[in-house]
Structure 1
C-alpha cells in the first residue's frame, strides 16, 4: 500500500528548511549505501553528523510524532532518523530494495517495514526525479508537492529517476511498525479511518462506533509486536 500524507510540513516550514539547505555542505550519497545499492546510487546527502542534519532530523521527528495519519498508517515502533538527499545533474538511484535490517544510532537494530520520502522541492522546480515504486499492479510514479510524505513497503523494488534539470531535495527514513505484515497494517488503517468518519457523523459514544473501536484495538493487540 502506498499512503500519501499531504502537507506534513507547512509552506513556511518548507521555505525555512530550503533556506537552510541552500548553504549546506553535501557529501557523496554512496557513503551510506550498501554494497549492491552503491552500484546504482548517484546523489548527494547531508552529512548525518552535521548540526544542520541533527536539527532538521529532530524537527521532522516531532512533526511525525504528532501527525494522526502517519501514526495510524505506520503504527511506528521505531523510526530510523531522517536523512536528507539531493539529486541534480542527472543524479539518480537505480532499481533497488532497502536493507531489511538497519542499525540505529544507539546500536539497536531496526527491521525496515516501511520506507518514507518527504519531498522538500516543489515538483515544478525540477525535471525527472520521480520515485518509481513497483507493486502488484505495476510500477507507480510518485512526485509530490513540497512538504508531502509518501509511505510504502520497504520490501518494494523502487528507484529515483534521473533529475535532468533543477534540484530535487528530500528527507527519507524507515519505520519498524508494531504490525509487521503489510496487509494487516492496511486493514487496520482502513478500519481506523472509517471509525474516524463515523465518530464525526454519529458521535464517539455511538454503540456501533464503540464496537468498531473495540474490534480495531483487539486486532491491534493480536497482530502487534512491540519488541
Structure 2
C-alpha cells in the first residue's frame, strides 16, 4: 500500500481561480479544530466551507472521481461517504498562517471515521513564501508538490503540517472521506 498518492493536475489554474473566488463570495471564518475548539498556536488560517456556497457542485464531482480512482489503485480502503464539507483554507503572511503537525483522525462522530484526506494546492507557488504542506507517513518528511492544481491523497492518520506563510497568501482545498473504523 502506498502511503501518499499525488495528482499532478487535479484541477486547472482556471478551476483553482474559480474555487478561490467561490470561497471569497462571503467572509472567511477563523479556522478552528475538531469539536469547535480553537488554538492559534496550532492552527492559524481562515476557512470557507464549500457546501455553504452556491455553484460548487462540480468541485465535489471532481473530488469523488479522483478519490475513487486512487482508492481503487492505491489504498483499497472501505469508504462509505464524504461526510464533511470540502473546505478552502487561506494561510496569510499577516497572521503567519500555519497548521502544526497533526493527523486528521480525531474526536467526534465524523472526525473519528476519517479514512482519507485530500489536499489540493490552489495558489501559484510564486504568490507566497513558506506555507509548505509537509507529510510524515514514515520516518521521512515529504513536501507536497506546490504546483497549482496538484493534489495529494493520504490516509487521515498520516502526520502532516503547513509551515508558516512568511509572505503573500496560500489557498488550499481539503476534504475527507469516511468509512468504518480501521481494524
Q: Report the TM-score when normalising by structure 1.
A: 0.64
Note if contact 1:117-1:170 (Cα within 8 Å) is conserved in structure 2.
yes
Task: Note the C-alpha offset of 1:95.
Answer: 1.5
1:13 equivalent in structure 2: 15
Stretch moving more, 143-152 or 15-24: 15-24
CA deviation string 1:128-147 (max 9, x = no partner): 11111122232111143222
CA deviation string 1:169-188 (max 9, x = no partner): 1111111257947xxxxxxx
Structure 2 Cα separation of the partners of residues 142 and 161 of structure 1: 12
Go from structure 1 to structure 2 and tell me whether the alpha carbon gap of 1:135 and 1:145 turns closer, same or farther (over 3 Å shift). same
Secondary structure of the residue that 1:98 maps to in structure 2?
coil
Greater relative CO, 1 or 2 (CA 8 Å, sep 6+): 2
Across the aligned residues of Structure 1 and Structure 2, the Cα RMSD in angstroms comes to: 2.8
1:70 equivalent in structure 2: 70
Alignment of 1:122-141 (within 5 A): 122-141=124-143
Secondary structure of the residue that 1:170 maps to in structure 2?
strand
Alignment of 1:135-150 (within 5 A): 135-150=137-152
The structure 1 residue matched to 2:121, chosen from 96, 119, 122, is 119
Go from structure 1 to structure 2 and tell me whether the alpha carbon gap of 1:77 and 1:110 turns closer, same or farther (over 3 Å shift). farther
Q: Report the TM-score when normalising by structure 2.
A: 0.78
Alignment of 1:27-38 (within 5 A): 27-30=29-32, 32-34=33-35, 38=39
Question: Which consecutive unaligned segments of at least 5 residues does structure 1 have?
Answer: 182-227
2:102 equivalent in structure 1: 96
Note if contact 1:37-1:96 (Cα within 8 Å) is conserved in structure 2.
no
Q: How many residues are paired up?
A: 173
Structure 1 residue 174 corresponds to structure 2 residue 159: no
Task: Note the C-alpha offset of 1:158.
Answer: 1.6
Structure 1 Cα separation of the partners of residues 64 and 156 of structure 2: 20
Which has the larger helix fraction? 1
Structure 2 Cα separation of the partners of residues 123 and 116 of structure 1: 19
Go from structure 1 to structure 2 and tell me whether the alpha carbon gap of 1:49 and 1:21 turns closer, same or farther (over 3 Å shift). closer
Go from structure 1 to structure 2 and tell me whether the alpha carbon gap of 1:33 and 1:179 turns closer, same or farther (over 3 Å shift). closer
Structure 2 Cα separation of the partners of residues 82 and 98 of structure 1: 14
Secondary structure of the residue that 2:80 maps to in structure 1?
strand
Secondary structure of the residue that 1:167 maps to in structure 2?
strand
Task: Note the C-alpha offset of 1:17.
Answer: 2.5
